[in-house]
């Protein structure tokens, strides 16, 4: 086992890796940019190294600075977390060239699965079903027109070198194709430095199902069942759960076997995720994420397997001593991503200081957070602040538990996605497991009703605050309150809590 591991990331995933290291008896080294100096992952790690200013390009994405941090602290390995450089094959190569261990798959596997057209070709060779589409990148709009005519509309243009919705366009008809093709190639070039796009048949209302895999260097590869990730906004997941409400044991085994075949086809080592689109009983390979996923906790809770711990153990040379347990999944788990965004204003980013934070506790509740009281939320990084995860014997009980946990969660100072998640927990289609990747588009009232509710509660909070301030200071309605009273903050906090606490 390693003696020291550098965690090349920030926020809740960096804290998760730090904790996994500590449970294995490994010294964790955190890195941080200037605004992250007092972040939880930095304060929890045994050692911490500054790596630059707020700009990710000059800190978390600077390979030279990360390697120097590892050398200066004597770290033997680097864990990339997710995001930033986690799926960058050049980073993996340079880590290995520096005589360090990259806690992730080989660079060749990252490269193969990072290029979507190469990944499709590998999956076809491994007999893994893929969405009907072009054999490779499409060079011109004329070629795109011919390919779309073969597939039939609607079609989906996708960036060959990336994901996350960048360089992606849905095309409903030939009249839209040329403009969409130009826009997709331009966006792909800006986002990934590679303008190539390819084409797939567009599935109108599929579910997003992914399979967790683990593989060691000795050739052992297993799957740990599926996660349902259909509730998304612009291809970014918002709520995940395990198991899926619609996948039976036979389909789970079949998808799991194909996910294992996909991992073996690229010589995969470590923890990874094979993603599928599922519609009308059919499923198709979407992509493979060559890293730990944001939603990995739901799999951990229904299997009892420490995925991050196993990542580190596999990288240190341990062989998998796990088998697919016929008892998996045990119970049901749901995860809500708590982001610094206002869901009732188009998920517009919310910034500011976390004035107070009360985290839910109790049976079956897990909080993977990267924030603390006094934490400054800015615009430099991804808005994900934390993940709230619950586990219960049944899906219905998990929904009830998540509702309770969301109501207990109190974050003051910024707006978050918390009220959106509460609205989803009460929505009948979600409760019955009826969903697709179009869930938000099909349920616009979740946002409209929530916006009105938010505005009513905000007005109530302001009215209560003004009334309490008037009574406390003796001010008349037209007279300003006395300035400089140290109790005013507590008065404001009480009013806000009364207005926004759903209990």
- Beta carbons of 202 and 168 less than 8 angstroms apart: no
Q: What are phi and psi of 437, to 5 degrees?
A: -70, -5
Q: Determine contact, residues 302/331, Cβ cutoff 8 Å.
A: yes
State the residue for tokens 């588009």: 441
Helix, strand or coil, per DSSP, at residue 455: helix
Q: Tell me the backbone φ, ψ of residue 125, rounded to 5 degrees.
A: -65, -35
198-221: burial string, b at 16+ Cβ within 10 Å, e else: bbbbbbeebbbbbbbbbbbeeeeb
Active site residue 337: no
453, 389 contact by CB (below 8 A): no
Q: Name the H helices within 162-224.
A: 174-192
Residue in the block written with tokens 């000795």 = 218
What does each C-alpha distance from 360 to 397, 406, 409 come to in angstroms?
A: 17, 7, 5
Candidate list 227, 233, 291, 313, residue with the active-site label: 291
Contact assessment for residue 81 and residue 292, using Cβ atoms and an 8 Å cutoff: yes
Exposure b/e, 452-485, CB count within 10 A at least 16 = b? eebeebeeebeebbeebbeeebeeeeeeeeeeee
Closest CA to 122 of 275, 264, 269: 264
375 vs 356: CA distance, rounded Å? 9
Cβ partners under 8 Å of residue 448, min gap 6? none
Strands lying side by side in the sheet with 27-33: 47-52, 27-33, 4-7, 77-79, 101-102
- Give the Cα separation of 202 and 35 in Å (integer): 42
Beta bridge partners of residue 341, listed in sequence order: 349
Give 23's contacts (C-beta < 8 A, 6+ positions apart). 306, 309
Catalytic residues: 291
């Amino acid at each position: 086992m390693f003696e020291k591991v550098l965690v090349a990331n920030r926020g809740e995933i960096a804290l998760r890796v730090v904790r996994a290291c500590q449970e294995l008896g490994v010294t964790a080294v955190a890195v941080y940019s200037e605004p992250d100096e007092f972040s939880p992952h930095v304060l929890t790690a045994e050692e911490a190294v500054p790596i630059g200013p707020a700009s990710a390009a000059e800190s978390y994405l600077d390979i030279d600075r990360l390697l120097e941090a590892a050398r200066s602290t004597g770290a033997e390995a680097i864990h990339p977390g997710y995001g930033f450089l986690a799926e960058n094959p050049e980073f993996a190569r340079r880590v290995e060239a520096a005589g360090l261990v990259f806690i992730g798959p080989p660079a060749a596997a990252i490269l193969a699965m990072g290029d979507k057209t190469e990944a499709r070709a590998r999956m076809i060779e491994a007999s893994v079903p893929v969405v009907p589409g072009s054999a490779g990148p499409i060079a011109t709009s004329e070629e795109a027109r011919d390919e779309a005519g073969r597939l039939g509309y609607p079609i989906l243009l996708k960036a060959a070198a990336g994901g996350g919705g960048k360089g992606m366009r849905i095309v409903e008809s030939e009249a839209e194709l040329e403009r969409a093709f130009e826009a997709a190639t331009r966006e792909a070039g800006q986002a990934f430095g590679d303008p190539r796009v390819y084409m797939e048949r567009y599935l109108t209302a599929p579910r997003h199902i992914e399979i967790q895999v683990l593989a060691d260097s000795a050739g052992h590869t297993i799957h740990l069942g599926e996660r349902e990730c259909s509730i998304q906004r612009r291809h970014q997941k918002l709520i995940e759960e395990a198991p899926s409400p619609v996948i039976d044991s036979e389909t789970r085994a079949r998808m799991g076997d194909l996910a294992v075949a996909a991992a073996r086809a690229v010589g995969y080592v470590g923890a990874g995720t094979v993603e599928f689109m599922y519609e009308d009983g059919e499923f198709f390979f979407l992509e493979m994420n060559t890293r730990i996923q944001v939603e990995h906790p739901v799999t951990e809770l229904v299997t009892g397997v420490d995925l991050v711990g196993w990542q580190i153990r596999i990288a240190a040379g341990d062989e998998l001593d796990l088998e697919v347990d016929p008892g998996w999944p045990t119970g049901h788990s749901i995860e809500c991503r708590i982001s610094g965004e206002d869901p009732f204003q188009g998920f517009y980013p919310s910034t500011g200081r976390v004035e107070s934070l009360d985290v839910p506790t109790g049976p079956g509740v897990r909080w993977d957070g990267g924030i603390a009281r006094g934490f400054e939320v800015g615009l430099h990084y991804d808005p994900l602040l934390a993940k709230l995860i619950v586990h219960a014997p049944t899906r219905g009980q998990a929904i009830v538990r998540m509702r309770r946990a969301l109501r207990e969660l109190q974050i003051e100072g910024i707006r978050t996605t918390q009220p959106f998640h509460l609205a989803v927990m009460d929505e009948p289609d979600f409760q019955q497991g009826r969903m697709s990747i179009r869930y938000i588009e099909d349920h616009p009232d979740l946002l409209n009703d929530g916006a009105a509710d938010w505005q009513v509660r905000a007005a109530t909070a302001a009215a209560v605050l003004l009334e309490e301030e008037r009574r406390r200071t003796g001010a008349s309605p037209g007279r300003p309150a006395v300035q400089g009273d140290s109790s005013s903050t507590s008065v404001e906090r009480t009013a806000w809590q009364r207005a926004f606490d759903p209990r």
